[in-house]
Structure 1
């Protein structure tokens, strides 16, 4: 069966199809599975007293703190910090992941690198930066930019929803609280914009890359 615009009824990229809703559902389940891993890491850090934050956090402009670019998104200052990041991570991550697993992985990598390196180059050398908020702002940047560059009603709808729920969080890119790494938020947002442009879905017949398959979980 073919729908208007050449989309098959089973196409997960087409809003309203069963495959579309199934892709959203699988993405939501996958993101919900990520958060318990973060809680386990924090529980081990607190329970064993191994100070993972210092070992794996970003220490700006210090070589021994450069590995935190990759590890810091998995670490949090405390459980309250983790609680505050959990819901937006699940919600925003679900919409990013539903657009394709490969796009999600590559986009997340770009966000992590841009956010982490931005913090490492511009943050205070007397600080240790941890948390997934840079990734969250990156996902926010991805969704907003996709709505513009891919020009689809679905992406514009996501942008509207994200704007209503988390638009106020854009204030986090400003240096309003010395305890909060505004650099991580700002560069995360920039990384999301870059990732959305790099891995945007081209129009049919123009895309030089193979179509990203829908998310499939075992």
Structure 2
């Protein structure tokens, strides 16, 4: 069953009108919020380096093992070194900003669904000899979310965002294929599909037209 976010019933919906003050305010707040997330990820990486990688082992997804199932929740916050984190930081800010600007409530629900689909999928189909960490599954999820949201909601703004994101990251789609044994392509692909699903489930529905009250001519001349 789809969960509808009715347009016009929340402040999030009011901020979707392109060119308005609430629209720009929402986009600005989303950008600041996503920028604030990045230092947290860097702090976690500092702690992991200090712990000699033990956080990755404790919080990463280890496919087919019960002790690695909690990685569904923790793995997006962990990275396998600075290069890995640097590579995810800028795309996370960009796609996360546009995803969050679409409404905080459905952003949180969409993120949870993306993490669940990507994380559980990796746990079921990934290699049991691997430990999977990184925010790239969520990033691909936001990518799928934005592109699909532009299509299902038929909004010029969302379609413009979808085109912009598509032009920026079309070349990254190779990462959903098994081209590099060091990369969890399953997490990328399943994250992308999770984003598509989230855009459909948590789509913003247009309000139904209100009935018009009709009346006959005034026969009494009042």
TM (norm. structure 2) is 0.87
- Pick from 162, 166, 169 the counterpart of residue 169 of structure 2: 166
The answer to whether the Cα contact below 8 Å between 1:24 and 1:95 also exists between their aligned partners in 2 is: yes
The one-character-per-residue Cα deviations of 1:132-178 (angstroms, maximum 9, x if unpaired) are 00000000000010011000100110011101111111111100000
Q: Which residue of 2 aligns with 1:105?
A: 108
Distance 2:170 2:32 in 1: 24
Q: Which residue of 2 aligns with 1:214?
A: none
Looking at CA atoms only, which structure, 1 or 2, has the larger radius of gyration? 2
Q: Residue 85 in 1 paired to residue 88 in 2?
A: yes
Please report the RMSD computed on the Cα atoms of aligned residues, expressed in angstroms: 1.4
Q: Which residue of 1 aligns with 2:79?
A: 76
Q: Which residue of 1 aligns with 2:4?
A: none
Q: Which residue of 1 aligns with 2:193?
A: 190
TM-fit CA distance, 1:48: 3.5
Distance 1:49 1:84 in 2: 21
- Pick from 179, 182, 195 the counterpart of residue 179 of structure 1: 182
Distance 1:114 1:24 in 2: 27
Q: Which residue of 2 aligns with 1:210?
A: none
Q: Which residue of 2 aligns with 1:44?
A: 47
Q: Which residue of 2 aligns with 1:155?
A: 158
Other structure's SS at 2:14 match: coil
The one-character-per-residue Cα deviations of 1:53-84 (angstroms, maximum 9, x if unpaired) are 00000000011100001100000000110000
Distance 2:127 2:16 in 1: 43
The one-character-per-residue Cα deviations of 1:21-76 (angstroms, maximum 9, x if unpaired) are 11100000000000100000000111233610000000000111000011000000
Other structure's SS at 1:183 match: helix
Q: Which residue of 2 aligns with 1:125?
A: 128
Other structure's SS at 2:204 match: coil
Q: Residue 20 in 1 paired to residue 8 in 2?
A: no
TM-fit CA distance, 1:205: 2.5
TM (norm. structure 1) is 0.88
Aligned length: 198
Q: Residue 65 in 1 paired to residue 68 in 2?
A: yes
The answer to whether the Cα contact below 8 Å between 1:141 and 1:193 also exists between their aligned partners in 2 is: yes
Distance 1:48 1:38 in 2: 15
Which consecutive segments of 4 or more residues in structure 1 shift more than 3 A? none
Unaligned runs of 5+ in 1: 1-5, 207-218
- Pick from 74, 98, 103 the counterpart of residue 95 of structure 1: 98
